[in-house]
A and B are shown apart, each in its own frame.
Chain A
Amino acid sequence: MLMAGPNGGRLDRSDEELLQDTVGGDLRAFDVIVRRYRDRLLNFVFRFLGDRTAAEDVVQETFLRVFRKSGEYHASARFSTWLFTIAGNLAKSELRRRKRGRFTSLGWNEEAEQHIEIPDDRPRPDAFAETEIATEAIQKAIESLPPNHRQVVILSDIQGMAYEEIAQIVGCPVGTVKSRINRGRLRLQNKLERLGYLPDSMEAE
């Protein structure tokens, strides 16, 4: 692609360089960072919270904090690790806030909420109905995991991250991450098997 247009040249720059550019006054460089990570962060937080609106809010707050602290970033950790750490912490706070029931006092109605969610652009032929039900069941099962297990399973199996990177994001030893992933998967597996969304592992071969 030619480097014309408002982002000419910026797309080739590393995250760290873009952040430096932001500190140096190039706001469009920050825009490139946002576009680079927006979807991954959104999917991570959405799978964790199970709520699109809240997930967008958390992701925006993440970018805002990164922007605010862009001058303080030191390349001791990878930029993406830093970003996911912030998003993960914010998502956990959001979860705690919800558990304390602040949202229910506002008359939050999750079921009604789902119907006014922003529609996505994918075609929705009837043939997808089964898959959508399954997707919803899987999401509910993910949400039923304890937050620490949920976070690492999402990072590993949905975001495709390596153990070491996950360990940095969650601030735990790799061994802890490994065992959380395993326990998280086994729990998830159990749940989805019982609901019939996974092959029954107890069946004889």
Chain B
Amino acid sequence: MTCKTCRKWMSEFLDGSLDVWRKRDFDEHLKGCPACRNQLHTMQVLQKTLAHLPPIRPSSHFHFALRARLTEELGRGKRFRSGFRLWGLYRRPILVAASLALLIVSSIRLSRHEPTEPMRTSERIVTHYILERISPSDRSASISLNSDSNVQCATPDTVFVPDQTVSGRIRTVSF
């Protein structure tokens, strides 16, 4: 076996999927070739390193944003796919109404924001009146933003939107 062939089979050797004959050739080559032994060792280290990369955790907005998308989808399902009872799937239609209400509220608030107005640090969207009608366990806000936005969920019922994001960068803010 040449070094080139040895490298070609290296991953399979490491993953234990080489057939016995090839493995025997491989072992034999390794015995006499320090360069390939080194390469194999480095690949092992690489594998271990990749397996132990720190896991990424979803942001606090993840479920909010997903819920908003599903809510939207359910709404669409009702309008366009009457054969498929998607709307009925949703056990809390109030959430759908609430998201729509907040979308309207926030778009009004956003559109009212005059460009000449002095800059404030954040736009506060108060949503108490909507939240009162939603059970606490469902009070997760749906926030889906463009990546350069910086919306913060200050309390379960209040969202702060920095001014630079008020210029229409918000995709969805709903509860």
What is the CB-to-nearest-CB distance from B119 to chain A, in angstroms, rounded to a whole number? 18
CB-CB under 8 A from B146, the residues of chain A are 106
What is the CB-to-nearest-CB distance from B97 to chain A, in angstroms, rounded to a whole number? 16
CA–CA, A205 and B147, complex, Å? 48
CA–CA, A113 and B150, complex, Å? 10
Whether, in the assembled complex, A51 has its beta carbon less than 8 Å from a beta carbon of chain B, the answer is: yes
Contacts across chains A and B counted by CB atoms under 8 Å: 143
Whether, in the assembled complex, A195 has its beta carbon less than 8 Å from a beta carbon of chain B, the answer is: no
CB-CB under 8 A from A193, the residues of chain B are 42
| Among B21-29, B45-53, B100-108, B121-129, the stretch in contact with A | B45-53
CA–CA, A71 and B85, complex, Å? 11
CA–CA, A39 and B63, complex, Å? 12
Asked if B47 and A157 sit within 8 Å, CB to CB, the answer is yes
Interface band, chain A: 35 or more
CA–CA, A60 and B65, complex, Å? 8
Whether, in the assembled complex, B41 has its beta carbon less than 8 Å from a beta carbon of chain A, the answer is: yes
| CB proximity to A under 8 Å, residues B39-90 | 39, 41-43, 45-47, 49-51, 53-63, 65-66, 69-70, 73, 84-85, 88-90
Q: A-side interface residues toward B, CB under 8 Å? A: 6, 22, 25-28, 30, 34, 38-39, 42-43, 46-47, 51-57, 59-61, 63-64, 67-68, 71, 106-109, 113, 116, 118, 120-122, 135, 138-139, 153, 156-158, 160, 163, 178-179, 181-182, 185-186, 188-189, 192-193, 197-205
Q: B-side interface residues toward A, CB under 8 Å? A: 7-12, 15, 17, 34-35, 37-39, 41-43, 45-47, 49-51, 53-63, 65-66, 69-70, 73, 84-85, 88-91, 137, 144-148, 150
